[in-house]
Structure 1
Amino acid sequence: MNQPPNPPVPPVPSALPGCWWHPNRPTGLSCARCGRPACPDCLREAPVGFQCTDCVQAGAQQQQRQHRQYRNAGMGTRTIAGARPSNSFPVTVTLIAVNVVVFLITVIQAKSLFDNSSAPVEQLGVLWTSATLGGGEWWRIITSGFLHYGPIHIAANMFSLWMMGRALEQVFGKGRYLALYFVSMIGASATVLVFQDVNGGTAGASGAIFGLLGSYAVIVLKLKLNPTALLINLVINAYVTFAIPGISIYAHVGGLVAGALVTVAMLYAPERNRVRWQAIGTAIVAVAIVGLIGWRATQVPPAQCTFAELRGGTTYVCGTSRSG
């Protein structure tokens, strides 16, 4: 007896999806960027995984657009401030090292890690209006920016300097970055000398660091970058400035304004003879700050300052000098 022929077996559908570009090719692969299924012929190696040909082409076009934006912003092979890009941060590292070394000296002199205000270096270097303007101890305008009260003070400032200083040193280069830092420091000192109590002492690198923050704000506006990180920084620093007792609000405001003005002078300088115009603009800001300090000096009476034994220890005091 003849057996009837077996009926044809329908093909079992594949459990794998078909390639987006070749639907008749089942594949277990997919694009790492868009997630669409793709056969080996439609995938290209990418920095992370494999991407389809469409995503590779879109990524190349996006990279070209970013390159044009970078070039049109005035950067090209240089940064927006005209410096050559660098991955090293010698100025920022040096500034941090100097601050730490000076702090350790005050700790050794005071024989205390948390209370170093009695150290002679601290007393001779903090920004004190009576001693600075009345006693003629002008060095305090700079030295106060390298002195700190206790480990928390210096740790917070050095962390901020490391975070912002590295990025800005890349943008400005060593010379411009140093000018920005020290003009911001002088601007912070000038504001303290003009507005703060003549008998109050101020120290710390936060004035110069706020200058870096003001510079960052100008760069964000210049390049129309996402301001989220800037706003977060501003809110945090504003809270610290107004919420913690003993923080010099004047130093922070003065440094912020000075740093912003210096950055405007550098970023908006004419392209022709750009370095010269940047130097002129920065010098104008610095001269204006020095002029403000000079004007304030005419209002502070002369003083004689010396170390004296007070409260069981040696303290630096200033007394108004009397002529005749």
Structure 2
Amino acid sequence: MVEIGRLASPRAVMALTDYLKSQGIETRIEHTAQGTAIYVVDERNAIAAQREFAAFIHNPMDGKYQQASWEVGDNQTKLDYGAPGLQLLTQVITGAGPVTLVTLITCVVIYIAMMFAPEAIFSALSFFGASTDSHWQIWRVFTPSLLHFSLLHIAFNMVWLWYLGGRIENSLGSGRLLLLLMVAGTLPNMVQFFFSGPNFGGLSGVVYGLIGYSWVMSQWAPQRGLVLQPALMGFMLLSLVLGFSGVMGDNIANSAHLAGLLTGLLQGWLDSRRKR
């Protein structure tokens, strides 16, 4: 059996498994502390099932799930995930794993803290040389990735983190995503420091790492369940080119973006060659 993902809502599990059943895909479920795990019995159906899981996460109210429940499941039960606010929360939680959510929450908390004590937070988390007495504080090679300096900045990065990081974590596991976050959150910072100095921050290097990783895996190892639309890769490459051209302003960590993309591409290539 192959696990295709985990859902927090029992009703969501029923809706998805009913739909998969209507498509001729047999599933099994297992209740865990991190939600209900859904397994595909026949490994040959794993890719199709993983794609359907991703589609369900992003539009659980699609009428086809209700129709499937009428055809093969409990036709007396409506698709009811609770109040609209609860629906959104359920989608956020089920669309990501613990590593994605902890990273997202950490960035948001730090951003809020910077509203009240910007100098203290920046001094504590910035790269070597941006503040005094920072020697030997090894965490500084990573922690600038957690700093954001505007609402647009953090909103852009958090949406991409949830969307891409959640897919990677649900498909390949928390350990694989954690390694990618650490590598793509460290090497781009070092490259950015080399070219532009220590005054920078943001998770954009990681985001480019996630997009590069997802693209390679979707091209070279589609059986892992990561599907990335070519248009998204094109959009990120266009943003990278515009950043280097200066059109988007001078406060863009272009070196970190490029280094993050290359890091993701390399790690994706290495992982695509491994057995699951």
* TM-score, length-scaled by structure 2: 0.58
> Structure 1 77/189 Cα, relative in aligned 2: closer, same or farther at 3 Å?
same
2:233 is aligned with 1:233: no
Alignment equivalent of 1:260, drawn from 260, 265, 268: 265
For residue 268 of structure 1, report the CA deviation from its aligned partner.
Answer: 0.6
Matches of 2:96 and 2:135, distance apart in 1:
41
Q: Which residue matches 1:247?
A: 252
- Counterparts of 2:156 and 2:48, CA distance in 1: 35
Name the CA distance, whole Å, in 2 between partners of 1:92 and 1:184: 14
Greater CA radius of gyration, 1 or 2?
1
CA distance in 2, matches of 1:130, 1:236: 27
User: How far, CA to CA, are the matches of 1:214 and 1:145 in structure 2?
Assistant: 17
CA deviation map 1:173-227 (0-9, x unaligned): 1111111111111111121233333xx4111111111110110221232147752
Query: Is 2:128–2:135's contact at 8 Å kept on the other side of the alignment?
Result: no
Equivalent residue for 2:99, pick from 91, 105, 108? 91
Q: Distance in 2 between matches of 1:132 and 1:264?
A: 39
Alignment partner, residue 68 of structure 2:
none
Q: 1:108 and 2:116 equivalent?
A: yes
Distance 2:95 2:152 in 1: 29
SS at match of 2:142: helix
Instruction: Give the 3 Å change call, closer, same or farther, for CA 254–121 of structure 1 in structure 2.
Output: same
Give the letter aligned to residue 127 of structure 1: F
Give the match for residue 297 of structure 1.
none
* Rounded Cα–Cα distance in structure 2 between residues aligned with 1:151 and 1:229: 22
- Aligned residue in 1 for 2:82: none
Change (3 A) 1:130 1:105: closer
Larger RCO (CA within 8 A; separation ≥ 6) = 2
**Shift, 1:75, TM fit:** 6.0
Aligned to 2:202: 204
* CA distance in structure 2 between the partners assigned to 1:266 and 1:246 by the alignment: 33
CA contact (8 A) 1:181 1:209 kept: no
* Conservation of the 8 A alpha-carbon contact between 2:100 and 2:161: yes
| Displacement of 1:124 | 2.6
Cα shift at 1:235: 2.0
More helix by share: 2
Residue deviations 1:263-291, cap 9 Å, x none? 2222212x3xx6xxxxxxxxxxxxxxxxx
Map residues 309-320 of structure 1 onto 2, 5 A cutoff.
none
Q: Say if 2:136 is the partner of 1:136.
A: yes
| SS of residue matched to 1:246 | coil
Cα–Cα, structure 1 residues 186 and 71, in superposed 2: closer, same or farther, change >3 Å? farther
Cα 1:203–1:134 change in 2 (3 A) is same
Identity rate, percent: 24
Q: What's the offset of the Cα at 1:107? A: 0.9
Q: Deviations over 1:15-54 (max 9, x none)?
A: xxxxxxxxxxxxxxxxxxxxxxxxxxxxxxxx8xxxxxxx
Q: Hey, what's the Cα distance between the residues in 1 that align with 2:208 and 2:244?
A: 11
Contact persistence 1:220–1:227 (CA under 8 A): no
SS in 1 for 2:124: helix
Normalised to the residue count of structure 1, the TM-score between the two structures is 0.51
Once the 2 structures are TM-superposed, how far is the Cα of residue 230 of structure 1 from its aligned partner?
2.1
Structure 2: gaps of 5 or more residues: 1-18, 25-39, 52-93
Given that 1:213 and 1:259 are in contact with CA atoms closer than 8 Å, whether structure 2 keeps it comes out as yes
CA distance in 2, matches of 1:159, 1:206: 11
For residues 71-90 of structure 1, what are the structure 2 equivalents within 5 Å?
71=44, 88-90=96-98
Letter in 2 for 1:219: M
- Distance of 1:173 and 1:227 partners within structure 2: 23
Tell me the number of residue pairs that the alignment of Structure 1 and Structure 2 aligns. 193
Q: 2 CA distance for matches of 1:263 and 1:249? A: 21
* Aligned residue in 1 for 2:153: 153
Q: For residues 153 and 50 of structure 2, what CA distance do their matches in structure 1 show?
A: 36
Q: What residue identity is the alignment partner of 1:92?
A: T
Conserved? CA contact 2:210–2:264, under 8 Å: yes
